[in-house]
Chains A and B, each alone.
Chain A
Amino acid sequence: MINRYRARGGLRIRAGVILMAAAFAAAGCTGSSTTPSAAQPSAAAPASAAASASAAAPSAAGEAITLHVLLMKQAAYSDTDVAAMTAAFNVDHPNITIVPEFVAYDALHDKIVTAQAGGGGVYDLILVDTPWPAEMVKAGIITDITDKIPAEFSTGVFDAAWTAAKYNGKIYGVPWINDTKFFFYNEKLLNNAGITAAPKTWDEVEADAKAIKAKGEVKYPIISSWKQAEAVICEWTQIAAAMGGSEFVDAQGKPLFNQGGGLAALKFMKKLIDEGLVDPASLSSTEDDVNTAMSTGQYAMTLNWTYGLNVMNDAKSSKVPGQIKVAPSPGEGSVVTSGVNGGMSLAVTATSKHPAEALQYALFLASEKSQEMDVANALPMWKASFDNADVTKNNPTLFAAAKIQFTGLVARPVVPYYTKLSNALQAAIQEALLGKKTPEQALNDVAAQLPSFQQ
């Protein structure tokens, strides 16, 4: 009896210990995640000062240095491209070892925050998207390099590429990627429906899509990357810009996205879904999913970044190699074309122990020579490259489309509260597309939250 009692009591105690340990572990996992912020405020300022001091006096040649670089493996330069550029860099800098780390775009922002926010900092150089400079400057993650940028960058690089590098008139990154979403189409499917040229307006896109659907070859003529992620914001921004909405908020911080072009774009996107012209699966599709879908030959039109053209036409993975063509993104009314600014810069972190070398490497990657090494996945950001026949000869159509679009890219707002705004807009746009709210209601609800984001 006593033994049975002990056995039961023992089990109860053990079960209790397991329960409590698991509960505390749960809290520890979530709670501990927040600890990095503690050291941040005090760490940022001295690190920044150290960065400036070191940048002025690079390490002596020959001193073995390792740079940790955080990059993206999705659009633009691939890991192979970066490896080739790094090999070229190491010819003159054999003492600098580059340790690149590639993550998916959707993990890049959070990886930077978790790695750098604590002040300990893992990386010397990080890739920064267009809307992030404001928040990362305020968080003390990246450093001011205004006086360290060579003059040729100021005059030779497309203006749009600087958006991801500047905040409040100062430069915090070396512009590296200048990208936007182009209009890609399956030429054969369009021709089969009697369409001989790519649509130039979104009204023409709708009309062409109806013609292709009527032909019966495909169920949904358009596939889009409208997943609840930054992808849907990029596409909505691009269509909004075509419909006259180039600003999310005005100078006073009042919302503009819930009227004019922003509202018209969302209504148009909803209309395309309701008419059965866009595959509803778009709501869970990223840009990579869109590439795969277009490669099946079951879709006629899409928007995507530069790298998409190469992937969709890859004979190894695509059922329609060579059939996917590129054109400038459609405009509407007086807007000839539009493009979301997909530029990204390389920023030296406030915690880097070798900021001068990190900047050297960034400037090398961003140089005209490096950018012209391989233009299959990313277009150069240098204006002169577009007039260099040796560079443009591989894909003159893409360069022609880019030359038009790059002059008028529309940026997502560079504000410290961007990520909060983006998260709210992602959900709101999907609520409208799913019919849970009207486009007006969905965007107005986010507009009502805007003051709380700005606090």
Chain B
Amino acid sequence: MTAGTLDRPRQRRSKPWPETWVAAAFVAPAALVILLVVVVPLVRAAWMSLFDIELTSPGVEPFVGLRNYVTQLTSADFWDSVSKALFFTGVTTALELSLGLGLAMLMDQPMRFRWLLRSIVILPWALPTIVNALMWRWIDNGTYGSLNALLAQTGVIHDYIPWLSQDSTAMWMVVLADVWKMTPFCAILILAGLQGIDRELFEAARVDGAGSRQIFRRIIVPLLTPIILVVLVLRTMEAFKVFDIIWIMTGGGPANATQTVAIYAYRTAYQSYDFGQGAALGYLIAIFIMLLAAVYLKLLRRTGA
């Protein structure tokens, strides 16, 4: 080996990039996208929320400080829409989680055609929300909907019920549509958690004399808690800012019975041209969601997940 051949590799070898630079280069494209589509609008919206910006008064945009926030926080309509959103969130999340857990347990059982069951179960989630909402609006229609036809022909009801026209039933029908669509999502995630549990734990528990109920309470539930909490967090956030399914099915009616806070914000910003108030509402929604997130984070820590 000559000196020349020994030198060649040394010439090619330039000083390597520090590891952090390489990492930054990989992260930069994604960070740029996030900056443009999340951070910039966030900052812009925060700035706008401090001004009185009405599209019908161009050029007149006085600085109002926190007045937009105060206006909303003292508005009965705002709190009414928050309570509707909380109701929707609470009921849908509870139902989707409990039904999803049951469904996941079923899909985890060894059985013939399990693959078929799993494929069928996931179908509602695969439907676009707008299709799901239109489908349920059709099903729930008080004059020609199939739900009334089914219940009347099976003798459950005598007269057709205007499901989406009564304030006592409209929200429940929207909840039903959302639960039908999103339960499979919960079930699939929980199923993934179930499959991560070592089966030997079940066998060991059975050898020790544990029944199915004890296995469920003492082994499955504790080990599934982290994934259940993650599902809970995701569904809570999605449900609190629900818009599309309600907008399509009821438009927030009847008599604002299904007007959640996102619909209220949309009406304020886009139908009333009040973008300052709309921006403030966007931030209030985010604050509510962050509060909920903080509670869940605390739960996560407490469970040691």
Q: Chain A residues in contact with chain B, CB under 8 A? A: 8, 11-12, 15-16, 18-20, 22-38, 40-42, 44, 106, 109-110, 113-114, 117, 135, 138-140, 219, 223, 227-229, 279-285, 289, 292-293, 296, 298-299, 416-417, 419-420, 423, 426-427, 430-431, 433-434, 436
* Measured CA separation A8–B225 after assembly (Å): 13
Shortest B233–chain A CB gap in Å is: 6
Nearest chain A residue, comparing its CB with the CB of B238: A22
Residue of A nearest to B253 (CB): A228
Q: Does B203 count as interface, using CB distance less than 8 angstroms? A: no
Contacts of B44 in A (CB 8 A): 31-32, 34-35, 38
Binds A, one of B2-10, B95-103, B210-218, B266-274: B266-274
Main secondary structure of the interface of B (DSSP, over half): helix
Q: A279-B142, A284-B162 are in contact. Are A34 and B278 (CB under 8 A)?
A: yes
Chain B 69-101: CB-based contact to A (< 8 A → 1; otherwise 0):
000000000000000000000000000000000
Q: A37-B55, A135-B56, A284-B162 are in contact. Are A22 and B45 (CB under 8 A)?
A: no
Which residue from A23, A32, A44 sits with its C-beta under 8 Å from B289?
A23
In angstroms, how far is the closest chain B Cβ from the Cβ of A10? 11
Residue ranges of B at the interface with A (Cβ–Cβ < 8 Å): 37-38, 41-42, 44-46, 48-49, 53, 55-59, 61, 141-144, 159-160, 162, 164-167, 170, 226, 229-230, 233-234, 237, 240-241, 250-256, 262, 265-267, 269-273, 275-276, 278-279, 281-283, 285-286, 289-290, 293, 296-297, 300-301, 304-305
Given contacts A109-B271, A280-B166, A284-B254, contact A27 B305 (CB under 8 A): no
* A20→B293 CA distance, assembly (Å): 8
Name the distance in Å between B113's Cβ and chain A's nearest Cβ: 34
In the complex, chain B residues whose CB is within 8 Å of the CB of A284: 141-142, 162, 164-165, 170, 250, 253-254
Contacts of A227 in B (CB 8 A): 251, 253-254
Check A23–B283 contact: CB distance below 8 A. Answer: no
Q: A23-B293, A419-B272 are in contact. Are A279 and B143 (CB under 8 A)?
A: yes
Shortest distance from the beta carbon of A294 to any chain B beta carbon, whole Å? 10
Contacts of B59 in A (CB 8 A): 41-42
Q: Are B270 and A110 in contact (CB under 8 A)?
A: yes
- Set of chain A residues within 8 Å of B167, measured between Cβ atoms: 434, 436
CB-CB nearest in chain A for B258: A228
**Shortest distance in angstroms between B296's beta carbon and chain A's nearest beta carbon?**
7
Instruction: Give chain B residues whose Cβ lies under 8 Å from the Cβ of A289.
Output: 141, 143
Looking at the complex, which one of A31, A42, A139 makes contact with B46 (CB distance below 8 Å)?
A31
- Residue of B58, B144, B266 near A40 (CB, 8 A) is B58
- Say whether B251 contacts A33, CB under 8 Å: no
- Chain A residues within 8 Å of B240, by CB: 26
- Other A-B contacts than A28-B37, A30-B265, A280-B142, 15 sampled, CB-CB below 8 A, are A11-B305, A19-B296, A23-B293, A27-B283, A30-B45, A30-B281, A30-B285, A34-B53, A37-B275, A110-B266, A117-B273, A138-B55, A279-B142, A281-B142, A427-B256
B-chain residues with CB within 8 Å of residue A219 when the two chains form the complex: 159-160
On chain A, the residues within 8 Å of B46 by CB distance are 31
Identify which of B143, B233, B269 contacts A285 (C-beta below 8 A).
B143
Q: Which of A113, A283, A298 is close to B270, meaning CB atoms less than 8 Å apart?
A: A113
Q: Is the CB of A416 within 8 A of B38?
A: no
A–B pairs, 26, beta carbons within 8 Å = A15-B226, A19-B237, A19-B297, A23-B286, A23-B293, A27-B283, A29-B282, A30-B262, A30-B286, A31-B45, A31-B283, A38-B44, A109-B271, A110-B271, A138-B57, A139-B56, A139-B273, A228-B255, A279-B142, A280-B166, A282-B165, A283-B166, A420-B272, A430-B253, A430-B254, A434-B167
